[in-house]
């Protein structure tokens, strides 16, 4: 299994009280899957992405990347794991305002000390259709373009997994559609796995598995196969009903 969480809990201290943002969550994420996580506001989606991607430590439970446990790793080691294997896309793009599009994309590579960072950065911008905008700063770009720069930044280091937290939440429907299609294409053409938290249904057609969270718990999973089976069964049941009526 590429990525696995077993009985992961995450609590935050709020004064005297403890808030359990994740409550014994388990999930298996196979390579090249396109995982979509739904759930109401406050259900724990962002927290789950933050612990799966190693941004935040868990309170209890285990996390594995390629069967290697990383839930007990030091923060430094977790940072290295994230740098080498994970890409992250946020709702609010998180671009550095003083940097150009290209500099934003190259930033992770410059941390890695990659020699031809500029060329790889341009390739990534080209892939998201923004090569001509490499000199623009975030303030000179539209929301959709900013999100595409953020996607270029996430793919530039060729990660194994990309986590996307509400990547279309701040975009209009049409722009949102192009982002959904771009992520689905990247999933299909390279081996990159996606884990996406979203309120929207736009990602559903591409999802290999969909999950629903509520109150910090994983409520259930619908796999594509099960869904297809259910829809054929429904058709069969309907036709049986029609013929018996």
- 12 makes contact, choosing from Mg ion, ligand ATP, none, with CB < 5 to 8 Å by partner type, with ligand ATP
Binding mask 46-65 for Mg ion (x = CB under 5 A): x-------------------
SS (H, E, C) 140-151: HCCHHHHHHHHH
Q: Are 4 and 66 in contact (CB under 8 A)?
A: no
Residue among 21 and 218 whose Cβ is closer to ligand ATP? 21
Judged by CB under 5 A, which stretch of 13-21, 39-47, 70-78, 100-108 contacts Mg ion? 39-47
Alpha helices in 15-100 (DSSP H): 45-52, 75-85
According to CB under 6 A, which residues from 173 to 202 bind ligand ATP?
Answer: none
Residue among 114 and 169 whose Cβ is closer to Mg ion? 169
Residue among 41 and 74 whose Cβ is closer to ligand ATP? 41
Of residues 28, 32, 42, 118, which one binds ligand ATP by CB under 6 A?
A: 42
Residue among 61 and 108 whose Cβ is closer to ligand ATP? 61
Judged by CB under 6 A, which stretch of 35-43, 58-66, 124-132, 201-209 contacts ligand ATP? 35-43
Name the token pair of 125.
Answer: 């911008």
Q: Which residues pair with 20 in a beta bridge?
A: 11
Spatial CA neighbour of 85 closest among 173, 138, 160:
160
Q: State the CB neighbour count (10 A cutoff) for residue 66.
A: 12
Rounded Cα gap, residues 128 and 151, in angstroms = 8
φ, ψ for residue 240, nearest 5 deg: -65, -45
- Whats the size of the chain, residue-wise? 245
Residue among 23 and 100 whose Cβ is closer to Mg ion? 23
Residue among 19 and 240 whose Cβ is closer to ligand ATP? 19
Using rule CB under 5 A, residue 198 touches Mg ion = no
According to CB under 5 A, which residues from 114 to 173 bind Mg ion?
Answer: none
Name the token pair of 46.
Answer: 């962002």
- 47 makes contact, choosing from Mg ion, ligand ATP, none, with CB < 5 to 8 Å by partner type, with ligand ATP
Using rule CB under 6 A, residue 19 touches ligand ATP = yes
| Cβ-count burial 128-148 (b if 16+ within 10 Å, e if not) | bebeebbebbbeebebbbbbb
Q: Where along the sequence are the contacts to ligand ATP (CB under 6 A)?
A: 12, 14, 19, 21, 39, 41-47
């Amino acid at each position: 299994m590429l990525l696995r969480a077993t009985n992961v809990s995450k609590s935050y201290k709020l004064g005297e009280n403890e808030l359990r943002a994740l409550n014994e969550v388990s999930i298996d994420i196979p390579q090249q899957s396109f995982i979509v996580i739904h759930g109401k506001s406050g259900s724990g989606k962002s927290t789950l992405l933050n612990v799966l991607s190693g941004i935040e430590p868990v309170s209890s439970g285990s996390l594995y990347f390629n069967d290697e446990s990383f839930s007990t790793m030091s923060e430094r080691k977790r940072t290295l794991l994230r740098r080498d294997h994970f890409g992250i896309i946020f709702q609010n793009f998180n671009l550095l305002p003083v940097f150009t599009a290209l500099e934003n994309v190259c930033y992770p590579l410059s941390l890695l000390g990659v020699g031809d960072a500029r060329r790889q950065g341009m390739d990534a911008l080209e892939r998201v259709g923004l090569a001509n905008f490499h000199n623009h700063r975030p303030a000179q770009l539209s929301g959709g373009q900013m999100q595409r720069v953020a996607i270029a930044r996430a793919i530039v280091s060729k990660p194994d997994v990309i986590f996307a937290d509400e990547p279309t939440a701040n975009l209009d429907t049409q722009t949102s559609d192009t982002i959904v299609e771009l992520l689905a294409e990247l999933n299909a053409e390279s081996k990159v796995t996606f884990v996406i938290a979203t309120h929207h249904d736009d990602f559903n057609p591409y999802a290999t598995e969909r999950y629903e969270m509520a109150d910090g718990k994983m409520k259930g999973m619908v796999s594509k196969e099960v869904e297809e089976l259910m829809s054929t069964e429904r058709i069969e049941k309907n036709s049986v009903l029609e013929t018996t009526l």
